[in-house]
Amino acid sequence: MSELTQTDLVYSSRSLKLWNVLVNWLDFLYQLFLKILRAVAHLPLLSTSSSSSSSKALADGFKPLPVTELPEISAKSTVTVKIDSARRSSDEGQVRSIPRLTVVLDVDETLVSAYESSSLTSTIRTQAIEAGLKWFEIDCISSTKVYNGEPKINHVTVFERPGLHQFLEKLSQFANLIVFTAGLEDYARPLVDRIDTKHVLNDRLYRPCTVSTQYGDHVKDLSSASKNMCRTVIVDNNPYSFLLQPLNGIPCVPFSAQQPNDTQLLDVILPLLKQLSEEEDVRPALYDRFHMPEWFEKQGIPRSCWTSSSSPSQVPDESR
């Protein structure tokens, strides 16, 4: 019995040492994981999905889809977009009266970049501020979550995309502006209040206005914003947001606090929207530029997903 007891003690000692080694390794991996989390501080508070752009996309300027390349379209392609003949002017020389353009704008990573303040590293904050990015902090009070018996408060740091206020002011001169975010109103409303200093926004739509599809949740059905798809455009860094109306979307480069030299709003998006404001139907021009239906098909999303919510005049005609 004494030999068994000594053997048990030997194995017990070895097991204890192995256990201590294992615990030390787990602690090391945990600390490493925490460092990685601190390094990647950005938390998209207002949207449910986030996309990152490559350095090449930023260097080349506006890219319709910075992550996934669009399928190549042959120069001999005969694909066209049909337009209702009733919408064309019978007299080409006659001055046409067309409805005012409606521009639907995403918020996070399109107009601003929002971070949970506790997760924002001092390095990112300092570099962004020193680079000249405009920023502000807000307290978002939840109407559904409670902490210690009180409504939960989230402290949020927001960096504005360069040229934001000038962009909104100039855009409002020729278009109706609607903010459409997949974020909850508790988070998004105080943020939008801060960026709409001149009250140029005509409407605001939040997560309850989005819809769910088999290809993604919180999809922005543009029929909630406008009944005239000929004169409606959405600007969003996430193409899946407008998969129901792909011919009305402008996929923009995502914005973060680490892009202080971004010039997309004034140099790229505003001129494009100004051009579209003069089009009787924005969809042919957007199709010629982005070919979004083909891109969605490449991602495995069939045309039936979006044609069901579109009129026949929006569908590219491949038979011609």
User: 142-171: per-residue pLDDT in tens?
Assistant: 766 766 677 778 899 999 999 999 999 999
The string of pLDDT tens digits covering residues 58-103 is: 333 333 433 334 333 333 333 344 444 334 444 455 556 889 999 9
Exposure string (b/e) for 190-217, b if CB count within 10 Å is 16 or more? ebbeebeeeebbeebbbbeebeebebbe
Q: Is 207 in a helix, a strand, or coil?
A: helix
Q: What is the mean pLDDT of the chain?
A: 77
Q: What is the CA radius of gyration of the chain?
A: 26
Write down the pTM of the prediction: 0.72
Q: Which residues contact 224 (CB under 8 A, 6 or more apart)?
A: 180, 205, 209
pLDDT given for residue 216 in this prediction: 86
Q: Are 291 and 73 in contact (CB under 8 A)?
A: yes
**CA neighbor of 82 nearest in space, from 308, 296, 302, 287:** 287
Under the banding of pLDDT at 50, 70 and 90, the label for residue 14 is: low
DSSP 164-179: HHHHHHHHTTTEEEEE
Active site residues: 106, 108
Does residue 15 carry a pLDDT above 80? no
Q: Exposed (0-12), middle (13-18) or buried (19+): which is 168, by Cβ within 10 Å?
A: buried
Q: What is the pLDDT of residues 282-300, one digit of tens each?
A: 999 999 999 999 999 999 9
pLDDT digits (tens, 9 = 90+) for 200-259: 999 999 999 999 998 889 999 999 999 999 999 999 999 999 999 999 999 999 999 999
Share of the chain above pLDDT 70, in %: 65
Q: How confident is the model at residue 303 (pLDDT cuts 50, 70, 90)?
A: confident
